[in-house]
Every structure is written in structure tokens, then in C-alpha cells.
Amino acid sequence: MNVTCGKDYISILVDEEFFNYYNVGVESLHLTNTSCRGHREEISGSTYVILRTPMDQYAACGGKPVEKNITHIVYTLTLMSDPPTYGNIVRHPVVHIEYKCVYPYIRRLSLAFPILSFSSKRMFKVDEVDAKVEMSLFQDHTFSEAFTSAPTIKLGDQVYVQIQVTEPEDFFNLKVNECWATQSAKPNDKSGFVHTMLVNGCINDKTTTFVNGTSHYAGRNGEGSTVRYSFDMFRFVNGPDSVYLHCTVHLCTPEDGESCTPECKSIAKREVVLDEQSQGLLSYGPIKRELPERPVPNHLALILPFGVIWALGIFLLILISVAKAGNRRRTTNR
């Protein structure tokens, strides 16, 4: 027996010999909703019964209410046989198999870079489920063109950040909890300066704003699978002209509703610590500050004074030579 938890489906595969042992026909197998049934399939010379349930049919097929805690989401389905009938009574089904899929609920991510790719992405695997979250920096407020190399941004210009759940698509809502910048690629490095833009999903920097997208996939923090925000480029008072960006995120199901949306009336600052059990470090950067152009020396301005001096010197030499020649002529005439 094998259960596969895909990004958009849940499937169970059982050797047909199991059902033959209990004298249960494949045609009598189904989920809680009897319209959701399986089929035979031969794999490597053996016959199996396979039942695949798309995620959008989970509730319709009789899936149990989703179980949630702070780290995982659990989906539960039941494969059963038709209940046997004896005269005018019905007994409990002979086959009753409950199977579950566990999906990631909270994941810690970070943009701690130095790589020169156009985005930073990381794939997480929980049991058989893959979930991918991607962070990118874009060139302007339209979010239409991402940087294709390590971005260089002028002091005071806006930095446009997009964080998106790319797999599974449109399944999780995304809440960005904390975002902060450091002088090194290590998110918890205390040897340098740290500047925080977001705390508990709320703005902590006066230049930071969430950017609402034109589609429902990008909106307020926690309301879609994409979150976009921007902040003004800055530099630290000491050190290099580059910063490293880090963010932690929270994955929510649509059923979470308003509980996934941050309440920003009061913000309690706290230190961000990466959980070793939840490896989700993304790397991207560094974000470099564009240095002001240095004035180019005007060599022409330097050459002109020397040229004038040489011209005056030659002119004086000519005057002196003419004067000396005049004195010689007077002496000769006398």
C-alpha cells in the first residue's frame, strides 16, 4: 500500500491481492462519497487498485475536516468497500482504510545571498509533497521585469520585492512575517548592523509599503499566494555598500481566512531565529548601492594655464631679443 501526496492531488495504491483475500471486488471500492471510485492498473507485472483524488474534489469526495497545527496541515480520506447486505440488515464494510497526507504549514525562508540569479527559490519536501516559495526583486512598480543579475540601486530609490508560492499553485495563502536586512549573508549575524522592514507581518520602516497587484493572486499580506512590498534603498552608516535581505513566511490554507491576515494595531518586536528543523533558507543578492559619480578632472582647464604661461614666456623672450638687437644697432651707429 502506498499513498502519494501531490501538489494538486492525493492518491492511494493498493495491491489487488489484499482485496482478493477479503473477497472484495474492485467495483465495490470507493471513498466516503460513492461516486469517487478507483480503477485497476498493472505495474511491473502486478495488479493494483488506484484511486486518485484531485485537491479541488477533496471535500466533495468526503474528505475529513482539515487538521492543522503550527507546522503542518493534514488531509484525511477513507477508502472503503460497499457494506455487505444480509437479508434486511447491513453490516460494517469489510474494507475500511483511512489514509492521510501531510503538507507544510509554516516554513521559514530567507533571502541571504550572494548569487547572481534572477530570483531566489527553495523547494521544501514534507513526506511526498513539494512546496516551492520564490523571492524576486523587480525593476519598477509594475513587477513586470525582474533583475537578471545582482541589482544595483541608487540610494533613496525604491526596492521592489515579490515573494510567491509557485508550487502548488493557488493552494496556499502566503503571509510574510518578518523581513530584515543585514550586512552579511548570515540572517542572524550580530557582528554588523541590522535594519528591520516588517515585524509580525506589519510595517516597521516608514518607507515600506505593501503593493496591491492587479490580480487576486497578489494583494494584501496573507490574502493570496503572492505578496509584494517595496522600501527605499538605504545604506548602513559603516561597512560595505551592499545589504542582504531576509524574510520569514507563513503558509496558510484558504480556510484560515482572516487568521492569516496580520493585525497591525500593535507590534511586538522580537528577535528572529531560524529553526534548524525547518530548513528554508533562500539566497539572493547582494543588493548593491549605486555610488555617486566622481567628478572627472578637467584636463583642459589644467592645460590652458600652462599654455598661457608658455606663450607669455616666449613673447617676453621675443621682446628681450628685439630690445637687445635695437641696442646693438645704436651702438654701431655711434
SS3 at position 221:
coil
My answer on whether 95 and 199 are in the same domain is no
Q: In CATH, what number is assigned to the domain containing residue 7?
A: 2.60.40.3210
Residue 297 lies in a domain: no
Q: Please check the confidence at residue 231 and state whether its pLDDT lies above 60.
A: yes
Residue 112 lies in a domain: no
My answer on whether 163 and 246 are in the same domain is yes
Q: Please check the confidence at residue 227 and state whether its pLDDT lies above 70.
A: yes
Strand partners, 2: 13
Strands (DSSP E) along 55-205, which ranges?
A: 67-68, 72-81, 85-86, 89-90, 96-104, 106-107, 110-111, 119-126, 129-138, 152-154, 158-167, 173-182, 194-199, 202-203
pLDDT of residue 280: 43
Residues 165, 226 contacting (CB under 8 angstroms): yes
My answer on whether 94 and 181 are in the same domain is no
Which residues, other chains included, contact 142 with Cβ-Cβ below 8 Å and sequence gap of 6+?
A: none
My answer on whether 46 and 139 are in the same domain is no
Q: How confident is the model at residue 214 (pLDDT cuts 50, 70, 90)?
A: very low
Residue 186 lies in a domain: yes
pLDDT of residue 77: 95
SS3 at position 107:
strand
- Which whole-number Å values give the CA distances from 260 to 64, 175, 194, 250, in the listed order? 22, 7, 27, 8
CA separation for the pair 137, 151 (Å, rounded) = 8
Range of the domain at 20: 2-104
My answer on whether 141 and 244 are in the same domain is yes
Residue 74 lies in a domain: yes
My answer on whether 137 and 279 are in the same domain is yes
Q: 208: how many CB neighbours lie within 10 A of its CB?
A: 19
Percent of the chain at pLDDT > 70 equals 70
My answer on whether 142 and 220 are in the same domain is yes
Q: Please check the confidence at residue 152 and state whether its pLDDT lies above 50.
A: yes
φ, ψ at 309 (rounded to 5°):
-65, -45
Strand partners, 86: 89
Q: Please check the confidence at residue 232 and state whether its pLDDT lies above 50.
A: yes
With 0-12 CB in 10 A as exposed, 13-18 as middle and 19+ as buried, what is 125?
exposed
Percent of the chain at pLDDT > 90 equals 23
pLDDT of residue 107: 54
Residue that wins the pLDDT comparison between 105 and 78: 78
My answer on whether 169 and 239 are in the same domain is yes
Q: Please check the confidence at residue 261 and state whether its pLDDT lies above 60.
A: yes
Q: Please check the confidence at residue 211 and state whether its pLDDT lies above 80.
A: yes
My answer on whether 81 and 43 are in the same domain is yes
Residue 283 lies in a domain: yes
My answer on whether 87 and 156 are in the same domain is no
Q: What is the pLDDT of residues 31-84, one digit of tens each?
A: 999 999 989 998 888 899 999 999 889 999 999 998 887 678 899 999 999 888
Residue 109 lies in a domain: no
With 0-12 CB in 10 A as exposed, 13-18 as middle and 19+ as buried, what is 40?
exposed
Residues 27, 19 contacting (CB under 8 angstroms): no
CA separation for the pair 47, 13 (Å, rounded) = 10
Q: In CATH, what number is assigned to the domain containing residue 280?
A: 2.60.40.4100
Q: Count CA atoms within 13 Å of residue 92 on its CB side.
A: 3
Give me the torsion for CA of 163, 252, 52, 1, rounded to 10°.
Answer: 110
Angle at 235 between CA 112 and CA 208, to 5 degrees: 75
Q: Please check the confidence at residue 219 and state whether its pLDDT lies above 70.
A: no
Domain count, the chain: 2
pLDDT of residue 175: 85
pTM value? 0.52
Residue 268 lies in a domain: no
Residue 320 lies in a domain: no
With 0-12 CB in 10 A as exposed, 13-18 as middle and 19+ as buried, what is 117?
middle
Identify residue 279 by its one-letter amino acid code. Answer: Q
Of the candidates 48, 17, 19, 54, the one whose C-alpha atom is nearest the C-alpha of residue 36 is 54
Q: What is the pLDDT of residues 280-333, one digit of tens each?
A: 444 455 677 666 555 555 554 444 555 666 667 777 777 777 666 666 555 555
With 0-12 CB in 10 A as exposed, 13-18 as middle and 19+ as buried, what is 319?
exposed
Q: How confident is the model at residue 204 (pLDDT cuts 50, 70, 90)?
A: very high
- Region 220-231: what's the mean pLDDT? 87
Least confident of 16-25, 206-215, 227-236: 206-215
- Region 91-119: what's the mean pLDDT? 66
Q: What is the pLDDT of residues 107-144, one digit of tens each?
A: 555 544 433 334 566 655 434 446 688 888 999 999 88
Q: Please check the confidence at residue 197 and state whether its pLDDT lies above 80.
A: yes
My answer on whether 198 and 66 are in the same domain is no
Residues 69, 251 contacting (CB under 8 angstroms): no
How far is C-alpha 325 from the chain's CA centre? 89
My answer on whether 183 and 91 are in the same domain is no
pLDDT of residue 98: 94
Chain mean pLDDT for the chain: 76
Residues 244, 183 contacting (CB under 8 angstroms): yes
What grid cell was written down for 290?
Answer: 549605486
